[in-house]
Structure 1
Amino acid sequence: MLLPFSKNQRHTILLFFFTVGFISLCWVLKTLYFIHEIELAPHKKLLLFSSSGLGLLIGGILASGKSKFKLSFAFLLYLIVSFLLYADVLYERYYDSILHIELLSQANQVGDVKDSIATLVYKTDYWYWIDIVLVAMVLVLFYKKKDKEKTPIRSLTALVVGMAFILTAAFYPLKDNFSDQYKVALTGILPAHIHDLSNTISKKVEAEENALQQTGELKEIRKYLKENQIYQKSSPYYGKFNGKNIIMIQAESLNTFPLGLEVKGEEVTPNINKLIKTSHYYPNTYLQIGHGNTSDAEFVANNSVYPMAERGIYKQYPTNDYLSLAKVLKGEGYSTSATHGNKPDFWNRELAYPKQGYQAFYHINHSKLKRDEIIGMGISDESIFKQMVNIYKEDKKPFYSFIVSLTNHRPFEMPKDYQFMNLPDSLTGTPTGNYLQSIRYFDQALGIYIDLLKKENIWDDTIFIVYGDHYGLLPKDKSEVKKLLNVTFEEKSRFNIPLIIHHPKQKTGETHDIVGSQMDIYPTLTSLLGIDRPLVQFGKPLDIERKGYVGFAYETTRYSFYSDDYDYIASHDGIFSSGKCINNETKKPVNVNACQKGYNKVLKDTEISSFLLKNNLLPQVFPQQ
Structure 2
Amino acid sequence: MKRVFSAIKNWWPGLNSTMGFFLLSVALVWLKTYWAYNTKFNLGVSGGIQEFLLFFNPIPTAVILLGIALYFRGRIAYWLMVLINLLQSVWLFSNILYYREFSDFLSFSIMGSGSSVDNNLSKAISGIINPTDFLVFIDIIILIILLLIKVIKIDKRRTPKRVAGLTTVLGIALMLVGYGVSVSDRSGLLTRTFDNNYIVKYLGLNEYAAYNAVKTKQTADERSNATADQLAPIEKFVKQLDTDADPTYFGALKGKNIIVIHLESFQQFLVDYKVDGQEVTPNINKFYHNQNTIGFSNFYNQVGQGKTSDAETMLDNSLFGTASGSVMTNYGATNTFQSFQGYLDQDGYTTAAFHGDVPSFWNREATYKSWGYDYFFSKSYYANADNASYNVGYGLKDKIFMKDTAEYLQQLPQPYFAKVITLTNHYPYTLDKENIDFPATKTGDKTVDGYVQTAHYLDEAFGEFMAYLQKSGMDQNTAVVLYGDHYGISENHKAAIAKLLGKSSVTNYDLANWEKVPFMINAPGLKGGINNTYGGEIDVMPTLMNLLGISDKNTIHFGSDLLSSAHKQIVAFRNGDWVTNEYTKHNGQYFVTATGTQITPSEDPRVATFVKETQSFVNNTLSYSDKVVTGDLLRFYKNPDFKKINSKKYSYNKAKSLKQLKADQKKGTSLMAQNNNQTTIGDYITNAPELSDSSSSSSSDSQSSN
Whether TM-score is above 0.5 comes out as yes
2:124 to 116, 120, 130: 116
Between 234-243 and 458-467, report the one with greater CA deviation: 234-243
Distance 1:93 1:49, change over 3 A: closer
1:302 to 316, 339, 348: 316
In the TM superposition, residue 337 of structure 1 has moved relative to its aligned partner by 0.5
Q: Does 2:584 align with 1:567?
A: yes
2: CA distance between counterparts of 1:131 and 1:27? 9
Q: Does 2:483 align with 1:467?
A: yes
Q: Does 2:594 align with 1:587?
A: no
1: CA distance between counterparts of 2:34 and 2:57? 13
2: CA distance between counterparts of 1:406 and 1:195? 34
1:16-415 equivalences under 5 Å are 16-36=18-38, 37-38=41-42, 39-41=44-46, 42=50, 44=52, 48=56, 51=59, 53-55=61-63, 57-58=65-66, 60-61=68-69, 64-67=72-75, 69-108=76-115, 109-136=117-144, 144-151=152-159, 153=161, 156-157=164-165, 160-161=168-169, 164-165=172-173, 168=176, 173=182, 175-176=189-190, 177-178=192-193, 179-205=195-221, 208-209=224-225, 211-212=226-227, 214-215=228-229, 217-231=230-244, 233-278=245-290, 279-319=293-333, 320-366=335-381, 373-415=390-432
2: CA distance between counterparts of 1:305 and 1:57? 39
Distance 1:416 1:70, change over 3 A: same
1: CA distance between counterparts of 2:374 and 2:81? 54
User: Quick check: 1:581–1:595 contact (8 Å CA) kept in 2?
Assistant: no
> Residue 583 of structure 2 aligns to which amino acid in structure 1?
Y
Q: Spell out, residue by residue over 1:251-293, the C-alpha distance to the aligned partner (whole angstroms, 9 max, x if none).
A: 1010111110122221110100111121111121100112111
Q: Does 2:529 align with 1:510?
A: yes
1:496 match: secondary structure: coil
1:250 match: secondary structure: strand
2:521 to 481, 487, 501: 501
User: Quick check: 1:43–1:187 contact (8 Å CA) kept in 2?
Assistant: no
2: CA distance between counterparts of 1:117 and 1:170? 34
> Residue 221 of structure 1 aligns to which amino acid in structure 2?
I
User: Quick check: 2:63–2:168 contact (8 Å CA) kept in 1?
Assistant: no
> Residue 414 of structure 2 aligns to which amino acid in structure 1?
K
2: CA distance between counterparts of 1:46 and 1:474? 23
In the TM superposition, residue 485 of structure 1 has moved relative to its aligned partner by 5.7
2: CA distance between counterparts of 1:49 and 1:282? 43
Distance 1:22 1:552, change over 3 A: farther
Q: Spell out, residue by residue over 1:407-462, the C-alpha distance to the aligned partner (whole angstroms, 9 max, x if none).
A: 111100111011121457x4699433310100000000000000001111111211
Distance 1:583 1:374, change over 3 A: closer
1: CA distance between counterparts of 2:314 and 2:344? 16
2:268 match: secondary structure: coil
2:251 match: secondary structure: coil
> Residue 185 of structure 1 aligns to which amino acid in structure 2?
K
2:639 match: secondary structure: coil
User: Quick check: 1:326–1:336 contact (8 Å CA) kept in 2?
Assistant: yes
TM score, norm. by length of structure 1: 0.87
> Residue 161 of structure 1 aligns to which amino acid in structure 2?
V
In the TM superposition, residue 26 of structure 1 has moved relative to its aligned partner by 1.6
TM score, norm. by length of structure 2: 0.78
> Residue 200 of structure 2 aligns to which amino acid in structure 1?
V
Gapped regions of structure 1 (runs ≥ 5): 1-9, 572-578
1:329 match: secondary structure: helix
> Residue 606 of structure 1 aligns to which amino acid in structure 2?
L
2: CA distance between counterparts of 1:428 and 1:414? 18
Distance 1:368 1:230, change over 3 A: farther
In the TM superposition, residue 505 of structure 1 has moved relative to its aligned partner by 4.0
2: CA distance between counterparts of 1:307 and 1:59? 38
> Residue 197 of structure 1 aligns to which amino acid in structure 2?
A
> Residue 504 of structure 1 aligns to which amino acid in structure 2?
P
User: Quick check: 1:61–1:155 contact (8 Å CA) kept in 2?
Assistant: no
Distance 1:281 1:73, change over 3 A: same
Distance 1:593 1:94, change over 3 A: farther
In the TM superposition, residue 85 of structure 1 has moved relative to its aligned partner by 1.3
In the TM superposition, residue 146 of structure 1 has moved relative to its aligned partner by 3.8
Q: Spell out, residue by residue over 1:28-68, the C-alpha distance to the aligned partner (whole angstroms, 9 max, x if none).
A: 2222223323242555468547525524643552672222x
Distance 1:378 1:50, change over 3 A: closer
2:481 match: secondary structure: strand
User: Quick check: 1:362–1:369 contact (8 Å CA) kept in 2?
Assistant: no
In the TM superposition, residue 248 of structure 1 has moved relative to its aligned partner by 0.1
Distance 1:480 1:614, change over 3 A: closer
Percent identical among aligned pairs is: 24
User: Quick check: 1:467–1:498 contact (8 Å CA) kept in 2?
Assistant: yes
Q: Spell out, residue by residue over 1:117-143, the C-alpha distance to the aligned partner (whole angstroms, 9 max, x if none).
A: 333333443443333334435666889
In the TM superposition, residue 586 of structure 1 has moved relative to its aligned partner by 6.6
1:527-538 equivalences under 5 Å are 527-533=546-552, 534-538=554-558
1:435-474 equivalences under 5 Å are 435-474=451-490
Distance 1:229 1:299, change over 3 A: same
Between 98-107 and 581-590, report the one with greater CA deviation: 581-590
User: Quick check: 2:535–2:570 contact (8 Å CA) kept in 1?
Assistant: yes
Distance 1:158 1:98, change over 3 A: farther
Distance 1:147 1:600, change over 3 A: closer
User: Quick check: 1:184–1:192 contact (8 Å CA) kept in 2?
Assistant: yes
Q: Spell out, residue by residue over 1:232-255, the C-alpha distance to the aligned partner (whole angstroms, 9 max, x if none).
A: x23421012211100001110101
User: Quick check: 1:54–1:162 contact (8 Å CA) kept in 2?
Assistant: no
Q: Does 2:521 align with 1:521?
A: no
Alignment match, 1:4 = none
Alignment match, 1:434 = 450
2: CA distance between counterparts of 1:16 and 1:429? 46
Q: Spell out, residue by residue over 1:202-250, the C-alpha distance to the aligned partner (whole angstroms, 9 max, x if none).
A: 45446544x24x32x423433443443333x234210122111000011
In the TM superposition, residue 471 of structure 1 has moved relative to its aligned partner by 0.9
1: CA distance between counterparts of 2:570 and 2:124? 28
User: Quick check: 1:50–1:165 contact (8 Å CA) kept in 2?
Assistant: no
In the TM superposition, residue 357 of structure 1 has moved relative to its aligned partner by 1.5
User: Quick check: 1:50–1:166 contact (8 Å CA) kept in 2?
Assistant: no
In the TM superposition, residue 158 of structure 1 has moved relative to its aligned partner by 5.9
User: Quick check: 2:300–2:571 contact (8 Å CA) kept in 1?
Assistant: no
> Residue 597 of structure 2 aligns to which amino acid in structure 1?
K
Gapped regions of structure 2 (runs ≥ 5): 1-11, 184-188, 643-706
Number of aligned residue pairs: give it.
Answer: 599
> Residue 40 of structure 1 aligns to which amino acid in structure 2?
V
In the TM superposition, residue 399 of structure 1 has moved relative to its aligned partner by 0.3
1: CA distance between counterparts of 2:97 and 2:415? 44
Q: CA RMSD in A?
A: 3.0
Between 603-612 and 87-96, report the one with greater CA deviation: 87-96
1:272 match: secondary structure: helix
Between 330-339 and 300-309, report the one with greater CA deviation: 300-309
1:562 match: secondary structure: strand
Distance 1:166 1:412, change over 3 A: farther
